[in-house]
Structure 1
Amino acid sequence: MIGAKEAQFYQENGYLLVKGVFNKEEIENMRAGVENIVQRAAAAKMVDNHAWQGDYLPPDELKKLVLKGFHDVHYHDASFTRAMVHPNMVAVLTQLIGPNVQIHHSKMLVKPPENGAAFPMHQDYPYFPHDKNTMLAASVHLDDTNEENGCLHVIPGTHKQGPLPHVGKHYLDHKEYPIASGVACEAEAGDVLFFNYLTIHGSGPNRSERTRRNVLYEYKAADDMPTEKVHINWGSGLMVAGENPNFQQAQPKFTLSGD
């Protein structure tokens, strides 16, 4: 899917947009998966609004914003499991991370028309810090995205700055890092934006009449260990490519309770 030139671009800039990773049929299957998850979550009364709060917008505007998000979607629909280990994804991941690649987690984000919430600029690092910082996000676009419907913005090269102080662990100072300061990564359905978890990124609100749906996978090198016990689940550590060099750490350690 990519060559040495694209891999070098990622290493220098901390992000890479790869076109046409998934075909139309695969995208349709994932769109159906998103809809099914939303409906099942509503039936289970487990629908939460993930719109971020803060001072980056006036309070009356914040109340209007909606963002539907669900973690670990590969537990809910097989289309996301297939996408997670898709040969095209693996071909890119092994170029950007190395031969031994693990999944950390997955999630989906749905920005509805006209009031889909923004994501202020931030790094993903505070949520799940790791030793070698190989962690990257692969944002799968299920819809065409541009600035009108809240495409992702990234600030090239910021992965080289290391971890930065965040407001309440969630986002950076919006006055110092406005969304407009990033490069707009407009994409088509089927494209995937890869970016390091230290790369500053965010997205504007969806002001269009179109839904913006993304599925996000976080991957890392198999020998990149967490520095804090955060955001670990049963599926974390599943091998996507290569082998696990840490035989005794092949699975997360859990304690079962009787609840």
Structure 2
Amino acid sequence: MIGQHDVDFYKENGYLLVKGVFGQAEVEEMRGAVERIIQRAAQAKRDENSAWQGDFLPPAELKKLVLKGFHDVHYHEACFTRAVVHPNMTAILSQLIGPDVQLHHSKMLVKPPENGAAFPMHQDYPYFPHEKHSMLAASVHLDMADEKNGCLRVVPGSHTQGGLPHVGSYYLNHKEYPISDGLPCPAEAGDVLFFNYLTIHGSDANRSERTRRNVLFQYKDASDYPTENVHIDWGSGLMICGGNPRFDKAKPDFSIKG
């Protein structure tokens, strides 16, 4: 799927857009799965609005914004489990990360038409810091994404700055790092945008009449361990490529609560 020049581009810029990773039938299947998850979440009264609440818009405008986001989609629909380990994905990941790749978590993000919320510029690093910074996000596009419907924006090369101070540990100061400074990454359905968790990124609001649906898979090197006990899910540690070098670090330590 990618060549050495793509790998070099990723290492230098901290992101890489790969076209046509998933076919039309696979995209359609995942679109249907997204709708079913939203329906089941609503039935379970877990249909939260995940829109960012900040000070860059008046309160009246913030109330109108919607961003549907749910974690661990591979536990809700089997097509996402297949997508996580898709041969095209593993071929790319083994070159960007290395021979031994683990899944950290998955989630879906849906920006509905006309009021799909923006997400300010940030790094993913503060959410789940790791020793070697091998962590990357693979954002799978289920719709065409452009500037009108809030496509992802990145700051090329920003991953070389290391971890930056975030407001409340979640986002960068929007006055210093406005969304408009990010390079837009328009993509078509089936394309995947890979970016390191230190790469500054964000997205503008969806001002179009088109939905923007993305599914995001977070991957890392199997020998890259967390520096803090944060954001660990049941699926953390699932092997995607190769093997786990440490038998005693094969899975998170969980206890069942009633």
Q: Is the 8 A contact 1:56 1:120 kept in 2?
A: no
Please give the alpha-carbon distance, in whole angstroms, between the structure 2 residues aligned to 1:20 and 1:256: 40
Name the SS of the counterpart of 2:89 in structure 1: helix
1:52 aligns to what? 52
Alignment of 1:117-156 (within 5 A): 117-156=117-156
In the superposition, the TM-score normalised over structure 1's length comes to 0.99
Q: Is the 8 A contact 1:103 1:237 kept in 2?
A: yes
Alignment of 1:166-177 (within 5 A): 166-177=166-177
Aligned-partner residue type, residue 154 of structure 2: V
Name the SS of the counterpart of 1:98 in structure 2: coil
Please give the alpha-carbon distance, in whole angstroms, between the structure 2 residues aligned to 1:29 and 1:179: 31
Is 1:198 aligned with 2:188? Answer: no
Q: Unaligned regions of 5+ residues in structure 2, if any?
A: none
Aligned-partner residue type, residue 158 of structure 1: S
Please give the alpha-carbon distance, in whole angstroms, between the structure 1 residues aligned to 2:248 and 2:174: 43
Note the C-alpha offset of 1:170: 1.2
In the superposition, the TM-score normalised over structure 2's length comes to 0.99
Alignment of 1:40-119 (within 5 A): 40-119=40-119
Instruction: Say what the alpha-carbon RMSD is for the aligned residues.
Output: 0.6
Please give the alpha-carbon distance, in whole angstroms, between the structure 1 residues aligned to 2:235 and 2:146: 32
Aligned-partner residue type, residue 71 of structure 1: H
Cα deviation digits, residues 219-245 of structure 1 (max 9, x gap):
000000000011112210000000000
Please give the alpha-carbon distance, in whole angstroms, between the structure 2 residues aligned to 1:153 and 1:10: 15
Aligned-partner residue type, residue 238 of structure 2: L
Equivalent pairs counted in the alignment come to 258
1:158 aligns to what? 158
Aligned-partner residue type, residue 192 of structure 2: V
1:230 aligns to what? 230
Please give the alpha-carbon distance, in whole angstroms, between the structure 1 residues aligned to 2:184 and 2:77: 30
Is 1:22 aligned with 2:36? Answer: no
Please give the alpha-carbon distance, in whole angstroms, between the structure 2 residues aligned to 1:115 and 1:255: 40
Note the C-alpha offset of 1:256: 2.8
Note the C-alpha offset of 1:63: 1.1
The percent of aligned pairs where both chains have the same amino acid is 72
Please give the alpha-carbon distance, in whole angstroms, between the structure 2 residues aligned to 1:62 and 1:39: 24
Cα deviation digits, residues 63-106 of structure 1 (max 9, x gap):
11000010000000001000000000001101100000000000
Note the C-alpha offset of 1:59: 1.8
Please give the alpha-carbon distance, in whole angstroms, between the structure 2 residues aligned to 1:234 and 1:65: 30
2:183 aligns to what? 183
